[in-house]
């Protein structure tokens, strides 16, 4: 009997049945984790590209509507740009802000539109600058006069937008942000 027990491991050593199942059981969890990470990364890239594309479209539209940047047209152009961004990014999901030449500002957050600012400022020219991610409009300047940063005073449209990102799979080791943001400052005149 002891001779049979000593030969038993050797009998199974040459048996190849079930090896593929064991190898699959070892590799499958790693493969699934890798696939989940790739899907999350792909989704994050898609959301970031969507935000960037929407900001670019809004800036291009603002440039084409430079003659509308007046006290009478500021609220309308802000609403048109914000509506375009909301359509591209999802009205209920996105947080959007459009400021027309330090005047009319239209914000959308949680699907709620809010207008603020003074539309009469849209008739003035400014030399805006960025400071810590915020736009500093400064005081009004003479149109087409040189600005301290090297540009020229004019009429501007500031566009900011963000869209939340939630991973499809709870494994989120490649993308660590919860939202993607974009901003542009377009000189329309």
Nearest to 135 by CA among 162, 102, 113, 107: 102
Question: What pLDDT shows up at residue 12?
Answer: 57
0.85 surpassed by pTM: no
Question: What pLDDT shows up at residue 15?
Answer: 64
Question: What pLDDT shows up at residue 11?
Answer: 56
Question: What pLDDT shows up at residue 151?
Answer: 85
How much of the chain, in percent, has pLDDT values that exceed 90?
Answer: 10
Nearest to 189 by CA among 116, 121, 126: 126
Classified as helix, coil or strand, 28 is: helix
- What residue spans define the domains of the chain? 2-187
Nearest to 184 by CA among 155, 159, 149: 159
Question: What pLDDT shows up at residue 10?
Answer: 58
Question: What pLDDT shows up at residue 175?
Answer: 72
Question: What pLDDT shows up at residue 170?
Answer: 67
Question: What pLDDT shows up at residue 161?
Answer: 92
Question: What pLDDT shows up at residue 57?
Answer: 92
Neighbours of 58 (CB within 10 A): 25
Whole-angstrom Cα distance, residue 112 to residue 74? 19
pLDDT in tens, the chain (189 residues): 556 556 655 555 666 777 888 888 899 999 888 888 888 888 888 989 999 999 999 999 988 888 778 888 888 888 889 989 988 888 678 889 998 888 888 888 888 888 888 878 788 888 888 887 788 888 888 888 898 888 898 888 899 899 988 887 766 666 777 888 998 888 887
């Amino acid at each position: 009997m002891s001779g049979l027990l000593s030969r038993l491991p050797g009998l199974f050593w040459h048996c190849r049945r079930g090896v593929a199942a064991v190898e699959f059981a070892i590799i499958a969890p790693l493969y699934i984790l890798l696939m989940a990470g790739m899907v999350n990364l792909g989704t994050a890239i898609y959301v970031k590209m969507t935000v960037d594309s929407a900001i670019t479209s809004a800036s291009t539209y603002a440039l084409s509507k430079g003659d509308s940047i007046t006290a009478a047209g500021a609220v309308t152009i802000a609403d048109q740009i914000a509506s375009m961004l909301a359509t591209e990014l999802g009205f209920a999901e996105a947080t959007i802000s459009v400021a027309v030449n330090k005047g009319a500002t239209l914000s959308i957050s949680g699907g709620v539109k809010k207008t603020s600012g003074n539309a009469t400022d849209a008739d003035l020219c400014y030399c805006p600058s960025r400071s810590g991610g915020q736009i500093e409009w400064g005081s009004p300047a003479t149109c087409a006069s040189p600005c301290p940063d090297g540009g020229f005073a004019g009429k501007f449209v500031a566009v900011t937008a963000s869209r939340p990102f939630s991973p499809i799979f709870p494994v989120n080791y490649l993308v660590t942000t919860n939202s993607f943001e974009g901003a542009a400052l377009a000189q329309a005149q």
